[in-house]
């Protein structure tokens, strides 16, 4: 794939602010599967250090609420302002995904890149906490770190080179996610597919100079990406 939106950000910025496989490329590919009109009001759920929110606001013309539990909203706002974005284009806030401080039906769409597997594994999460915030007819686009096939009963050694079985419990395959989401009333699964840029996004990540990227290199270099993928999910609220 070509990534004109992702590549509009300097590599140094991507490496400095990434918290996992290149979120800019994951976000750009994910957007290609959905239909979010320009000027929509979007929740970027699990926005991390702001890269995906900046892409959504600057490159797609969306009004973005960047919600993340672990990042610093003030740091993210300085980053956004450095890109020429204002608080009318993107609003960072610290928020727990299970206690989002928003009104019912306030968002046209939701985007979540590389984070939904932390809170969305609870089959009640989508219907109880997230779907009510989206307008009827609105889309939810999720890029979920996953497995090609669930293998928790016989984890390959390459995965255990970097991660514990407990950490790998957050990863599941497409069938598992389809079953999880299908339990929620009021939502249609429009598309679910393996993303094309997974290996490229991981290569960008392990080239970063931080301890978390360094910790993941052993697994990737041992062949972990034969077993891991990223799952694109496109949903619509009825």
Mean per-residue pLDDT, 2-30: 98
Mean per-residue pLDDT, 43-59: 98
Which helix or strand (DSSP H or E) is residue 117 part of? helix 116-119
**Domain covering 6-15+22-148+169-196+226-237 in this structure, CATH number:** 3.40.50.150
Mean per-residue pLDDT, 68-84: 98
- Measured over the CA atoms of residue 85, residue 75, residue 139 and residue 190, the dihedral's sign is positive
Closest-CA residue to 43 (of 141, 181, 175, 150): 141
Q: Tens digits of per-residue pLDDT, 173-218?
A: 999 999 999 999 999 999 999 999 999 999 999 999 999 999 999 9
Predicted model pTM: 0.98
**What is the predicted pLDDT for the residue at 168?**
98
d(CA 64, CA 86): 11
Mean residue pLDDT across the chain: 98
Backbone Cα Rg of the chain: 17
**What is the predicted pLDDT for the residue at 1?**
83
Contact 67, 40 (CB under 8 A): no
**Residue 138 binned pLDDT confidence (cut-offs 50, 70, 90):** very high
Length of the chain: 238
**What is the predicted pLDDT for the residue at 194?**
98
Mean per-residue pLDDT, 45-57: 98
Which helix or strand (DSSP H or E) is residue 182 part of? helix 174-182
Q: Tens digits of per-residue pLDDT, 57-75?
A: 999 999 999 999 999 999 9
């Amino acid at each position: 794939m070509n990534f004109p939106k992702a590549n509009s950000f300097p590599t140094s910025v991507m490496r400095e602010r990434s918290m996992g496989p290149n979120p800019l490329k994951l976000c750009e590919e994910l957007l290609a599967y959905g239909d979010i009109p320009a000027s929509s009001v979007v929740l970027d759920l699990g926005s991390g250090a702001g890269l995906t929110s900046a892409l959504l606001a600057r490159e797609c013309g969306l009004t973005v609420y960047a919600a993340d539990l672990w990042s610093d909203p003030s740091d993210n706002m300085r980053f956004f302002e450095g890109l020429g974005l204002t608080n009318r284009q993107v609003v960072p806030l610290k928020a727990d995904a299970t206690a989002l401080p928003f009104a019912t039906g306030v968002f046209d769409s939701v985007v979540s890149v590389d984070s939904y597997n932390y809170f969305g594994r609870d089959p009640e999460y989508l219907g109880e906490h997230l779907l009510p915030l989206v307008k009827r007819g609105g889309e939810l686009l999720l890029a979920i770190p996953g497995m090609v096939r669930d293998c928790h009963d016989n984890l390959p050694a390459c995965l255990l080179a970097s991660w514990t079985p407990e950490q790998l419990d957050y990863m599941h395959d497409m069938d598992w996610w389809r079953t999880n989401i299908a339990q929620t009333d009021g939502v249609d699964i429009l598309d679910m597919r393996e993303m094309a840029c997974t290996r490229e996004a991981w290569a960008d990540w392990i080239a970063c100079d931080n301890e978390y990227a360094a910790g993941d290199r052993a697994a990737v270099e041992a062949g972990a990406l034969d077993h891991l993928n990223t799952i694109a999910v496109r949903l619509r609220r009825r």
